[in-house]
Structure formats: structure tokens, C-alpha cells
Chain A
Amino acid sequence: MDVKLFDSELKIMDVLWREGTLPAKRIAEILALEVGWNKNTTYTLINRCIKKGAIERSEPNFLCRALISRAEAQNSETDELIDKMYGGSAFGLFASLLGRKRLTREQLDELKDMVDQMK
């Protein structure tokens, strides 16, 4: 079974691979120190991992157990970018370096030539 995880989800798994089965609260505490995430962020990511089948939850205490090993986990391909998902509204609301619209090969080359000429 292919489980594709984003970097953020892999970070959660990383904690479990290092420390073994842990309650969610403990994972949140560790990551707050390591990467500065707040509890809600961590819990949201844990739930996503559960949905993807990478983590199994058991009670009591919201115990998390890794269902896949480090070798089995794959990095998600980077074409599920936010800008594509939310219709590009991210660029209107946030100051992004590049605009929403992509350029074609020809347009890129044309601009590169323009820059080279004016250097």
C-alpha cells in the first residue's frame, strides 16, 4: 500500500519512529519544541495521517502508533500545491514572490533574452 505523505506529516511520523508509540499530547509537546507547531496544527496533522492510514489511534489518551515503517513511507509529489488547490486565491491574499499565472517556455525564453540584452 502506497502512503504518500507531505513533509509535515512525515515529521509526525518521524517522532513516532524515533520514540515509539506515544499519546498525541506528547507528540504535540515534542514538536512544539522542535519545530514550533501549536497543538492544533499537530493534532490536525495526526488526524490526516490517521486518514491516510499511516497512524493508528487507540484509546485511552489518543495513543498513536505508526502503521508504516520509514522505508515504506513515500514523499508526496509536489504537484498538490496550495496555489493550485485553492484556485490561486492564495496569491491575492498573501504576498507571493511570483504571480498565479505560469509562463510558457516561449514566454520565459523571451523574457530571458530581454534581460540578457539589457545587461
Chain B
Amino acid sequence: MFFSDISLTMDLLQMSVSGGILILAVCLLRCIAPASMPKKVILLAWLIALVRLLVPFSLPSVLSLYSRVEQEIFILTPTPDTALASFLPLSPRMEAIGTSAFPSVWLVLYLAGALICAAWFAASYFKCRREFSASLPVENAWIRSWVSEHRLLRPLSVRQSDRIGAPLTYGIFCPVILLPKHTDLNDRQSVTFILEHECAHIRRFDALWKILLTAAVCVHWFNPLVWLMLSLANRDIELACDEAVVRHCGIASAPYYAKALLCMEEKRSFPHSLYNSFSKNALKTRITALMKNRGISSLTTAVGVFLLVILFVVFATSSLQIGGDASHVERIIGESEIFTEAEINDMMDAVIRFFPAFEGCTLHELSYDEAVSLREPYVQKAPTGQRAVLLSTFDTTEISADSGFNPDFTYRRWMWLLEKNPLGGWTIYDWGY
């Protein structure tokens, strides 16, 4: 039962590390991207990072960054009792990797952190949704006609609320554009800009993407790069919608749109508003982007897409597995008066967990025969139930020769000497004939 806790932790850490590296790559892409590259390309890059963080897929590729890294000297091997991914120099007989019978402290801490994050976000989300649902409909003829002109497959409504300071949109199945109470509905130009912007969010299902980004933060709450992604991706989502507005209303509208944003910002700033001491401000970035907008170039778009493909292939794929394969092992558990079946399975799990160190080998069978085990001097030297010997059958390939095995050979009745450790799990002491 706890063995699977540990393997879950390792997959999560690997996803988090590669996700983090991918996030850094996307940050680099953002910096070098020219203004003529559509923001959609950046959003796709974030999508790749998001998928890497949330979906436990493994696409081994020789082009992967991790194939290069692992071919050097080190192999990424998390040790179960610390549950922290550590780079260990691996040579046969070096690390006796055991299993632990207790859920690691780190797992409990992780779950606590993830649940607290999720609870905080969920509470805010539902509180806001409750307030939003108490909004009032907007009774305005030209807005009604605007809505009917911009039909979606989903029912769209425009409402107003005295509880918000800036227009926003919410709802995935029944999207709603919510306008602050004092929006001047007669200023058609500004309101059209607002509606176009929010409509762009709705068409792209940004509400859903934001939820997924938040989910990634809850799952990877310990990784500061994922929080960075949340902040930057949200900003890029806004920039992409600004771009959509300008594309829809024409490039000449860019300065008027920028002005409209600034007027809205002005209206909601109160005399006692919070002073923004951080110079990097999202609105400034957006206004600058709008002013620099000269239209999208298909050349830079193509370059952008090409960079995305490289991004995916290099950073999102995983290393080509040359480690030992213990994915289909036949377990033969003989009669035992000393151990329960569960204990013997734990022993076999320990060997399977270690087996990737046997590069290029494939483990086929593990067996426990009590008579054989008790005959071994190693087992006899300790109290009953403290040690055990397992027999295994495995194949080798050419790669295995580097580790000292005969290549393209089948090893039978290869022994594994195991000792029970103080935590109740099993540690591999030695192996061989």
C-alpha cells in the first residue's frame, strides 16, 4: 500500500522538475518573442507546460533534454525514505535501496499543503460566484443587439453588479459578462471594447484555463516556478485578448482601446487606493503592447510555432529508458511458515524498485522458495524472519555489458539477499550467485 505512495511521489517530483524547466523555457520565449508574434503562440507554450505538470505521460525520446542529462554520469533516483529527488552516482552494489512500511512524512506534508491551497482557492472561487449570481440584468437595447450579434453555442448574458470594480467574465457553460454598476452604457465605444475583450475570453474558454492553472498550482504548490507560471500566464491571457480586440476592431482602434482601459482604471482608483510600489505593472505592459502593435507577421508566427515544437520535443519528453525493465515480472511465492504473502511481495517490490540500475536488462521472474532461502548462510546467520533470499531470472542486452554482465544472455536463479530494515521494509544487501 505504501509502496504506491512512494512511486506517486516520485512521478510527481519528476513532473514538477521537468515542468519547472519547461516554465523557464517559456519565460525565455516570452522575452525573445517579437511584437509581431501572436500571443497565442505563448499561450500554446504555457499549455505545453500545463500538460507536462498535470498529465503523467511519458514520451521517451532520444532528443529529450533528459536523455542527454542522464547519459552523463548521474541517474535521477529518488530515495524513498527522503522522498526528495537526488542525483546519485550509480554503480552496482552502491545504493541499497529499501522500502519503508510507513507513509513518509514528506507525503503527509505535501498532501496538507495541496489541500490547504485547494481549499483556499475553492473558497474564494465559490464566494465570488455566489456574489456574482446576485447580479442584475442589464436593460439596454444596443447591448441586447450586440449580444444577439455575437452568438455562441453557449448562452451569453451581460449583467451588472455593484460589487465589482472592473468588468469581468465568469462561467464556463453559461458565460456571463459582468459590468461594474457605474459603467457608462452610452459610451458605446468603450463598452464595445469591454464586451469584445470579455467575449475573447469566453470564446477561448479562459475561465477553464484559469481553473487548470490554479489546479497545477495546488498540485505543485511546493514549486515556486509554478506560481510564477500562474502570474505570467494570467498576464499573457489578458494580452492575447487585447490582441484579439485590436484584430477585430482594426489596428487604428489600438490607441482608443488603450485610452478606454486607462479611463476605466482611473474611475475605479479611489483617493485612498493602494499605492502600487512595484514598477512592473500589468496595465503598463498591456498599454505598451497595444501601442507597439503593428499587426501580426506570418513569418514570426511560423518561427514561433517552430520554437514551440522544439520546446515540446526537448523539454516535455522524457529520457529514453535504458535502465532495467521490471514492468512485467512473474512472481512465484512458495509456501512459507515464516513470512506472510504480503511480506514476500514487499521483498519482491524492493528488488523491482532497484532493478532499473541493471541497465539494459529485463527482469522476468522473481521467486521465493523457503527451502532455498533457509539453506543460505546469509539467512542462517540472523534470527528467523530477519533475512531472506529471492531467486530471479532476467535477460541482458548489449547495453548490460557496461555493467559487467554477459550481453544477450539469460541469467537464472540469480540471488537477491534481503534484510528487514527497522522501518519494517526490506533492504537489498547484495545480489549474485
**Contact between chains at A104 and B276 (CB < 8 Å):** yes
What's the minimum C-beta distance from A34 to chain B, rounded to whole angstroms?
9
Chain B residue contacts of A75, Cβ below 8 A: 162
What's the minimum C-beta distance from A119 to chain B, rounded to whole angstroms?
5
Say yes or no: is A71 at the interface (Cβ < 8 Å to chain B): no
**Contact between chains at B162 and A7 (CB < 8 Å):** yes
Say yes or no: is A38 at the interface (Cβ < 8 Å to chain B): yes
Chain B residue contacts of A44, Cβ below 8 A: 130, 134
Given known A38-B133, A92-B214, contact A102–B168 (CB-CB < 8 A) = no
Which of B15-23, B79-87, B193-201, B376-384 is the contact stretch?
B193-201
**Contact between chains at A114 and B128 (CB < 8 Å):** no
Chain A residue contacts of B128, Cβ below 8 A: 82, 86, 89-90, 93-94
Contact of A81 among B120, B165, B214, B282 (CB under 8 A): B165
What's the minimum C-beta distance from B294 to chain A, rounded to whole angstroms?
11
Q: Contact string, A70-110, partner B, CB cutoff 8 A, digits 1/0?
A: 00000110111111101101111111111101111101100
Chain A residue contacts of B334, Cβ below 8 A: none
How many residues in B have their beta carbons less than 8 Å from beta carbons of A? 63
**Contact between chains at B259 and A102 (CB < 8 Å):** no
Given known A8-B136, A111-B284, A118-B255, contact A94–B262 (CB-CB < 8 A) = no
Chain A residue contacts of B127, Cβ below 8 A: 86
Chain B residue contacts of A105, Cβ below 8 A: 269
**Contact between chains at B287 and A115 (CB < 8 Å):** yes
Say yes or no: is A6 at the interface (Cβ < 8 Å to chain B): yes
Chain B residue contacts of A99, Cβ below 8 A: 238, 281-283
Q: Which of B118-134 contact A (CB under 8 A)?
A: 120-121, 124-125, 127-128, 130-131, 133-134
Q: Interface majority SS on B: helix, strand, loop or mixed?
A: helix
The docked-state distance in angstroms from the alpha carbon of A32 to that of B82 is 57
**Contact between chains at A97 and B194 (CB < 8 Å):** yes
Say yes or no: is B210 at the interface (Cβ < 8 Å to chain A): yes
Contact of A107 among B198, B207, B284 (CB under 8 A): B284
What's the minimum C-beta distance from B228 to chain A, rounded to whole angstroms?
13
Closest to B125 in A: A93
What's the minimum C-beta distance from A84 to chain B, rounded to whole angstroms?
8
**Contact between chains at A101 and B278 (CB < 8 Å):** yes
Closest to B161 in A: A7
Given known A102-B276, A104-B275, contact A97–B162 (CB-CB < 8 A) = no
Chain A residue contacts of B169, Cβ below 8 A: 94-95
**Contact between chains at B121 and A89 (CB < 8 Å):** yes
**Contact between chains at B163 and A81 (CB < 8 Å):** yes
Q: Contact string, B269-282, partner A, CB cutoff 8 A, digits 1/0?
A: 11001111010011
Chain B residue contacts of A93, Cβ below 8 A: 121, 124-125, 128, 210-211, 214
Say yes or no: is B264 at the interface (Cβ < 8 Å to chain A): yes
Chain A residue contacts of B275, Cβ below 8 A: 102, 104
Chain B residue contacts of A11, Cβ below 8 A: 136
The docked-state distance in angstroms from the alpha carbon of A104 to that of B168 is 22
The docked-state distance in angstroms from the alpha carbon of A89 to that of B127 is 11
Chain B residue contacts of A91, Cβ below 8 A: 168, 234
Chain A residue contacts of B262, Cβ below 8 A: 108, 111-112, 115
**Contact between chains at A98 and B259 (CB < 8 Å):** no
Q: Which of B251-295 contact A (CB under 8 A)?
A: 255, 258-259, 261-262, 264-266, 268-270, 273-276, 278, 281-284, 287-288, 291
Q: Which of A7-55 contact B (CB under 8 A)?
A: 7-8, 11, 35-38, 41, 44-45
Given known A89-B124, A97-B166, A108-B262, contact A102–B273 (CB-CB < 8 A) = yes
The docked-state distance in angstroms from the alpha carbon of A76 to that of B241 is 33
Say yes or no: is B423 at the interface (Cβ < 8 Å to chain A): no
Say yes or no: is B167 at the interface (Cβ < 8 Å to chain A): yes
**Contact between chains at B167 and A115 (CB < 8 Å):** no
Chain A residue contacts of B211, Cβ below 8 A: 93
The docked-state distance in angstroms from the alpha carbon of A90 to that of B206 is 14
Q: Contact string, B162-181, partner A, CB cutoff 8 A, digits 1/0?
A: 11111111100000000001
The docked-state distance in angstroms from the alpha carbon of A83 to that of B166 is 9
Chain A residue contacts of B230, Cβ below 8 A: 92
Closest to B270 in A: A79
Say yes or no: is B135 at the interface (Cβ < 8 Å to chain A): yes
Say yes or no: is B45 at the interface (Cβ < 8 Å to chain A): no
Additional pairs, 16, CB under 8 Å, beyond known A89-B121, A115-B291: A6-B134, A6-B163, A7-B162, A8-B161, A37-B134, A44-B130, A78-B182, A79-B270, A83-B164, A83-B166, A86-B124, A93-B128, A97-B166, A98-B268, A102-B269, A102-B275
In order of increasing CB-CB distance, the 7 nearest A-B pairs are A8-B134, A98-B166, A96-B168, A89-B124, A95-B201, A99-B282, A102-B273
Instruction: Give 10 A-B contacts (CB < 8 Å), ordered by A residue.
Output: A44-B134, A79-B270, A81-B163, A82-B131, A89-B128, A90-B168, A95-B238, A99-B281, A101-B282, A115-B255
